[in-house]
């Protein structure tokens, strides 16, 4: 009887040790899963409601940004809180292709009258920006597809406001809120 009892006790102790080890393993899995979910939630909140890097590529924002592409930081609260101002550089879904994003300067808000400079194809004209829309233009007025082509842009397409140039490092700095002179057409 004692041999059987000793054998059962040893088997029970081994099973108990396995249970403790397995229990520790699942406890660790739960702990690390919880930490990863929390980190993921913080990253999601920062990217969705805070700050995120983005690229601005193309000739439409010359000379403010390089044609090869600059890395900018964009922030979201200005858009959500409707604090976008004339002169801000914004990142927006393209009205022509919502899969693409564009980097343009705000030249008019709802109710503003925007005076559009003449181009090689069009005479100068004025347009009133409808409610819930903004007027976006590239700084390079001679080579930019913007509101002059697709009209006022719904405010809901704005993604964020660019506020800091990160790359290239030699040109890193705050992005000015200004209305530049149209390239090729001096401001009166």
For 72, residues 6+ apart whose C-beta sits below 8 A from its C-beta are 53, 54, 55, 56, 65, 89, 91, 103, 162, 163, 164, 165, 166, 175
CA distance 25 to 28: 5
Q: Is residue 165 flagged as an active site residue?
A: no
- Strand-strand pairing, 89-93 and 101-108: antiparallel
- Looking at 50-138, list the stretches that DSSP marks H as alpha helix, in order from N- to C-terminal side: 77-80
Say how far apart CA 175 and CA 162 lie, in whole Å.
7
Catalytic residue among 27, 33, 48, 60: 60
Decide if 60 is catalytic. yes
Catalytic residue among 92, 104, 144, 165: 104
The gap from C-alpha 108 to its chain's centroid, in whole angstroms, comes to 21
Which residues are CB-neighbours of 162 under 8 A, at least 6 positions away? Answer: 54, 56, 72, 73, 74, 88, 89, 90, 91, 103, 175
Q: How far is CA 76 from the centre of its chain?
A: 7
- Taking the C-alpha atoms of 105, 81, 157 and 147 in order, what is their torsion angle to the nearest 10 degrees? -30
Residues belonging to the active site: 60, 104
């Amino acid at each position: 009887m004692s041999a059987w009892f000793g054998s059962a006790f040893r088997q029970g102790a081994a099973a108990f040790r396995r249970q403790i080890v397995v229990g520790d393993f699942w406890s660790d899995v739960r702990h690390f899963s919880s930490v990863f979910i929390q980190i993921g939630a913080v990253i999601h909140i920062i990217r969705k409601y805070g700050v995120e890097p983005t690229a601005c590529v193309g000739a439409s924002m010359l000379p403010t940004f390089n044609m090869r592409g600059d890395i900018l930081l964009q922030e979201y609260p200005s858009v959500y809180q409707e604090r976008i101002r004339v002169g801000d550089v914004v990142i927006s879904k393209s009205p022509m292709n919502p899969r693409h994003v564009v980097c343009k300067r705000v030249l008019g808000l709802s109710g503003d009258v925007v005076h559009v400079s003449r181009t090689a194809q069009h005479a100068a004209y004025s347009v009133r920006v409808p409610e819930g829309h903004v007027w976006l233009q590239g700084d390079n007025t001679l080579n930019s597809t913007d509101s002059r082509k697709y009209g006022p842009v719904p405010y809901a397409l704005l993604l964020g406001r660019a506020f800091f140039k990160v790359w290239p490092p030699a040109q890193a700095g705050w992005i000015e809120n200004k209305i530049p002179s149209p390239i090729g057409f001096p401001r009166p």
